[in-house]
Structure 1
Amino acid sequence: MLFNSINFAIFLPIVFALYWLLQNKNLLYQNILLLIASYFFYASWDCRFLFLLIFSTLLDYFTGIKMYEARKPGMKAFWFWLSIGINLGFLGFFKYYNFFADSFAESLSLLGIKANFWTLKVILPVGISFYTFHGLSYVIDIYKGRIKPERNFIDYAVFVSFFPLLVAGPIERATHLLPQIKSGRKFDYTKSVDGLRQILWGLFKKVVIADNCAEYANNIFNHSLNYSGSTLLIGAIFFAFQIYADFSGYSDIALGVARLFGIDLLRNFSFPYFSRDIAEFWRRWHISLTTWFRDYLYIPLGGSRGGTWMKVRNTFIIFIVSGFWHGANWTFIFWGVLNAIYFLPLLLLNRNRNNLEIVAQGRYFPTGNELIRIASTFSLTVLAWIFFRAENVGHALSYIRKIFSLSLFSKPEGVAFIGSNQPCAIVSVVIFFILIEWAGRERQFALAHLGLKWPGVLRYSFYLAIGLFIFYFAGSKQQFIYFQF
Structure 2
Amino acid sequence: MLFVESQFFLFFAIVLIIYWSLRSNDLRKWFVLFASYYFYGCWDWRFAGMLFVLSTADWLFARQISRTEQQRPRKIYVFASLAMNLTVLGFFKYFHFFVGSAVSLAGAMHVHLDEPTIRIILPVGISFFTFQSLSYTIDVYRREIPPVASLRDYLMFSSFFPQLVAGPIVRPKYFVPQMAGRKTLSLDDVKGAMYLFLLGYIKKLCIADNISPFVDQVFNHPAAYTGFASITAVWLYTIQIFCDFSGYSDMAIAVAALLGYKLVLNFDAPYLAISIQDFWRRWHISLSSWIRDYIYISLGGRMKFRLLTYRNLMLTMLAGGLWHGAAWNFVIWGGAHGAAQFLHQEFKLHFPPRPSQEPWRKLASWFLTLNFVCLTWILFRSATFSTAWLMIKRYLLIDHGGTQTLPLWLAAAGPVLLLQQLMMRHSNFGPWICNLSLPRFAMIYGATWALAVSLLPLGYRPFIYFQF
Structure 1 residues 132, 73: CA separation in 2 closer, same or farther (over 3 Å shift)? same
Q: Separation in 2 of the partners of 1:464 and 1:239?
A: 30
Q: Secondary structure at the match of 2:425?
A: coil
Matched letter for residue 41 of structure 1: F
TM-score (norm 2): 0.92
Q: Separation in 1 of the partners of 2:465 and 2:236?
A: 17
Q: Secondary structure at the match of 2:277?
A: helix
Q: Separation in 2 of the partners of 1:430 and 1:460?
A: 31
Q: Deviations over 1:316-353 (max 9, x none)?
A: 111100000001000101111111122112223457xx
| Residue of structure 2 in register with 1:362 after alignment | none
Counterpart mapping for 1:282-431 below 5 A: 282-350=280-348, 370-405=362-397, 407-408=399-400, 413-414=404-405, 416=406, 424=409
8 Å CA contact 1:61, 1:150 repeated in 2? yes
Deviates more, 1:321-330 or 1:219-228: 219-228
8 Å CA contact 1:277, 1:373 repeated in 2? yes
Q: Separation in 1 of the partners of 2:437 and 2:257?
A: 25
Q: Separation in 1 of the partners of 2:436 and 2:177?
A: 36
Q: Secondary structure at the match of 2:65?
A: helix
Cα RMSD of the aligned pairs, angstroms, is 2.6
Matched letter for residue 19 of structure 1: Y
CA apart distance, 1:199: 0.3
Residue 243 of structure 2 corresponds to residue 245 of structure 1: yes
Counterpart mapping for 1:54-453 below 5 A: 54-70=52-68, 72-350=70-348, 370-405=362-397, 407-408=399-400, 413-414=404-405, 416=406, 424=409, 434-442=418-426, 447-451=429-433
TM-score (norm 1): 0.89
Q: Separation in 1 of the partners of 2:71 and 2:338?
A: 37
Aligned pair count reads 462
CA apart distance, 1:407: 3.1
Structure 1 residues 15, 208: CA separation in 2 closer, same or farther (over 3 Å shift)? same
8 Å CA contact 2:324, 2:330 repeated in 1? yes
Q: Separation in 2 of the partners of 1:412 and 1:251?
A: 38
| Residue of structure 1 in register with 2:467 after alignment | 484
8 Å CA contact 1:217, 1:236 repeated in 2? yes
Structure 1 residues 391, 442: CA separation in 2 closer, same or farther (over 3 Å shift)? same
Matched letter for residue 21 of structure 1: S
Q: Percent identity?
A: 33
Matched letter for residue 15 of structure 2: V
Structure 1 residues 295, 180: CA separation in 2 closer, same or farther (over 3 Å shift)? same
* Gaps in structure 2 of 5+ consecutive residues: 354-358
| Residue of structure 1 in register with 2:356 after alignment | none
Structure 1 residues 287, 59: CA separation in 2 closer, same or farther (over 3 Å shift)? same
| Residue of structure 1 in register with 2:8 after alignment | 8
Q: Secondary structure at the match of 1:407?
A: coil
Structure 1 residues 435, 179: CA separation in 2 closer, same or farther (over 3 Å shift)? same
Q: Secondary structure at the match of 1:147?
A: coil
